[in-house]
Amino acid sequence: MEANSFAQVWQDVFTVQPDPPLWIVIAAGAVALLVVAAGGRAWRVARNVVTIAHEGGHAVVALLSGRQLTGVRLHSDTSGVTVSRGRPDGLGMIMTILAGYTAPAVVGLVGIVLLTAGRITALLWISILLLAAMLLLIRNVYGVVSVVGTGAVVFLVSWFTPAEVQSFFAYLFTWFMLFASVRPVFELQSQRRRQPSPHSDADQLDRLTGVPGTVWVMFFALFNMAVVVLGVWLLLFR
């Protein structure tokens, strides 16, 4: 869609696009898996998107549980922090912390729902709107740069590229969120072994529930891997 007006874009958002050729779906998945598995510079840059989803998950659940959201910070080492006010324990706080490491997989699953419904353009523009909402919560310069940069890439793809490129990008994003949901969990456990900290999500859940942090890491891993398996089936074998 090389759109000439927002009216055309708006029309395309509500239009069902045909499924792309299977090779595009597979190629996008292969590239996403390579970025996640190979690591290196590409992973460090792309991991910022995972951090945005992670902190966005904390923020959304904090609001849904009635907590007062103070703000979000994203850091150049791909870490982040979401600050909210409210009761320091209880179900709302537990769910808020639990949402972080599961959010990227959930985002990937939502992407699959939209893609399998033929809503490729809708996926891209919903992403832009969510990033704009996230921007209102950011409280540091790097966070602003990270969110604006991500939104700009999605906008440029959705506005200037043909349908085939948009399809590849949308599937690449969805595959990436699925695969990238798993690696940070293993990084979390590795960091917990090297530098134990009471501030990790797993250790905060340990303190709130009495369930050991390692068990929570296993839960994150199993949940995200289950979503990956479901996602592969939905995208390739449904």
Q: What is the pLDDT of residues 150-207, one digit of tens each?
A: 999 999 999 889 989 999 999 999 999 999 999 999 999 999 998 888 889 999 999 9
The answer to whether residue 114 is domain-embedded is: yes
Look up residue 191 and give its amino acid: Q
Q: Which residues contact 89 (CB under 8 A, 6 or more apart)?
A: 208
The answer to whether residue 109 is domain-embedded is: yes
CA 55 to chain centre: 9
Of 143, 125, 122, nearest to 134 by C-alpha is 143
Pull the structure tokens for residue 63.
């609001």
The answer to whether residue 211 is domain-embedded is: no
The answer to whether residue 177 is domain-embedded is: yes
Domain coverage including residue 152 = 21-181
The answer to whether residue 119 is domain-embedded is: yes
What is the rounded distance in angstroms from the CA atom of residue 189 to the CA atom of residue 123?
Answer: 32
pLDDT digits (tens, 9 = 90+) for 68-83: 999 999 999 999 999 9
Element of type H or E holding 120: helix 120-135
The larger pLDDT score, comparing residue 160 to residue 222, is at 222
The answer to whether residue 171 is domain-embedded is: yes
Given a cut of 80, is residue 36 above it in pLDDT? yes
The answer to whether residue 40 is domain-embedded is: yes
The answer to whether residue 117 is domain-embedded is: yes
What is the rounded distance in angstroms from the CA atom of residue 205 to the CA atom of residue 95?
Answer: 9
Classify residue 204 as exposed, middle or buried by CB count within 10 Å of its CB (0-12, 13-18, 19+): buried
Task: Please report, to the nearest 10 degrees, the dihedral formed by the alpha carbons of residues 202, 208, 209, 212 taken in order.
Answer: 40
Q: What is the pLDDT of residue 1?
A: 45
What percent of the chain shows pLDDT beyond 70?
A: 96
Lowest mean pLDDT among 7-11, 57-61, 63-67, 173-177: 7-11
Domain count, the chain: 1
Is the entire prediction scored with pTM above 0.75? yes
